[in-house]
Structure 1
Amino acid sequence: MTDSALVPVTSFRVPIAPSAARILFVAAIAFALGGLTSVGQTFLPEDAASLANSTAGWTAPTALLVFSTARSFREAIPAGVVSFVALTLGYAVVSTLRGFPFDPTTWAVIGVLAGPVIGAAAFALRRGRMAAAVGGGLLAGVLIGEGVYGLTVVAATTSPVFWWASIVLGGVLVFVVAARRLRDIRSTMVIISAAAVTAASFVGAYLALGALFAVL
């Protein structure tokens, strides 16, 4: 057989779209961060124990990951879900391996529901003023709302330090977005209003869920 009769063999490749690659990257980092949270509980003070049992504890890294990687709302929404769920699974897997079994079901469901909103809000910070105001207000409202809930509802069984830190972080987010992205009265009022409405809604939703779980 001559060389001309030989048919070149090419390797079979499954191309991965850049958006899918970025979402997979978010999943890997989130899973690792969730696992590190479990390990960190061995060394962190008791005041930070609520980190792994709070929406704010998963909201902040999810928002940072989506903000840093997403290129569109269509990418940010699934990335938010993937990050939130991966954080939970990473924490559950490492905790279980360390001898502290953790059922990720509840927080995974919360991640599926909250992830799209958190992802979209994080990406909105990169858009126009009004989008940034609404997105920033929503993220800040989650942090502030959970802090208020922690200080008023579960204060007897948890340290107030984490809850105050959550409130302060939410306030800092509002200030930074207003100062660096908005810079006008109208959009600044929007971010403040969005944060207040989201915080109040968050507390109300948590109270309703608590009442539902009590009945079940």
Structure 2
Amino acid sequence: MVLVATVALVLGGLTSWGQLLLPAETASLANSAGGWTIPTAILVVVLARGYPEAAVQGAVAFVALTLGYAVVSGWRDLPFDPSTWAVVGLVAGPVVGTAAHALRRRGRRLALGTAVLAGILVGEGVYGLTVVAETTSPVWWSIELAVGALVLAFGALRVRPWGLALVAATGTVLVAAAFWSAFVLLPILVFH
């Protein structure tokens, strides 16, 4: 847990700097859910020993990312209240953590974990290319879509029985649609 929290805290701080230093083509990486989902999933896949631990590590990672971002943004004289995104992290982190841990399995768990992670990345990629397309470069969103497709392909090729590949693909579409809808509605519900 300490390693997950430490790495996530540092990555969250780097996100703040990334918004300033990354080239315009990839700057959206530093302002995306996928930019935090990917390292969280990697940490959990490597470190979690079971589903409860994966869920807690997912939450810890997302909250630490948010706090790291808030601290470094404060140092940069860009005050940021981490409350809303910490709550989002407490809800989304366990989902991402358990989905990431499922990538180490086979069968239905692998299909569902694949659907969640691929769906988040595909959903945000589509969101970026449609909703915020006028104000951001398509490069990061296209990369995120490609990574989501790779996650889906990885899971679909490993899942047994083969029919569960359809579950992973259908689930990816459903999660992507839910993610896109949530990101469209979140600013309306929380920030207005």
Report the TM-score when normalising by structure 1: 0.82
Counterpart of 1:96, as a letter, is G
Could you tell me which runs of 5 or more consecutive residues in structure 1 were left unpaired when the two chains were aligned: 1-22
What is the Cα deviation at residue 52 of structure 1? 2.8
1:47-93 Cα offsets, whole Å, 9 max, x none, are: 22222322111111111111110011111111100001111111221
What is the Cα deviation at residue 213 of structure 1? 4.1
Q: How does 1:2-151 map to 2 (within 5 A)?
A: 23-151=1-129
**DSSP-derived class of the 1:143 partner:** helix
| % identical aligned pairs | 52
Q: Which consecutive aligned stretches of 4+ in structure 1 deviate over 6 angstroms post-superposition?
A: none
Give yes or no for the alignment of 1:200 onto 2:177: yes
CA distance in 1, matches of 2:54, 2:44: 6
**DSSP-derived class of the 1:156 partner:** coil
What is the Cα deviation at residue 168 of structure 1? 0.8
Contact 2:107 2:161 in 1 (8 A): no
What is the Cα deviation at residue 184 of structure 1? 4.8
Partner of 2:142: 164
Change in Cα spacing, 1:121 to 1:49, as seen in structure 2 (3 Å) is same
Give yes or no for the alignment of 1:182 onto 2:159: yes
CA distance in 2, matches of 1:139, 1:36: 23
CA distance in 2, matches of 1:39, 1:203: 26
Counterpart of 1:187, as a letter, is L
CA distance in 2, matches of 1:169, 1:184: 24
What is the Cα deviation at residue 36 of structure 1? 2.2
Report the TM-score when normalising by structure 2: 0.92
Give yes or no for the alignment of 1:152 onto 2:130: yes
1:79-138 Cα offsets, whole Å, 9 max, x none, are: 100001111111221222133333322221210110110011011111232101110111
CA distance in 1, matches of 2:119, 2:143: 13
1:13-63 Cα offsets, whole Å, 9 max, x none, are: xxxxxxxxxx12110111111122223344320122222322111111111
Count of matched residue positions in the alignment of Structure 1 and Structure 2: 192
Partner of 2:186: 209
Counterpart of 2:32, as a letter, is S
CA distance in 2, matches of 1:213, 1:99: 24
Counterpart of 1:61, as a letter, is P
Higher alpha-carbon Rg: 1
CA distance in 2, matches of 1:106, 1:58: 16
Of 82-91 and 104-113, deviating more is: 104-113
What is the Cα deviation at residue 183 of structure 1? 5.7
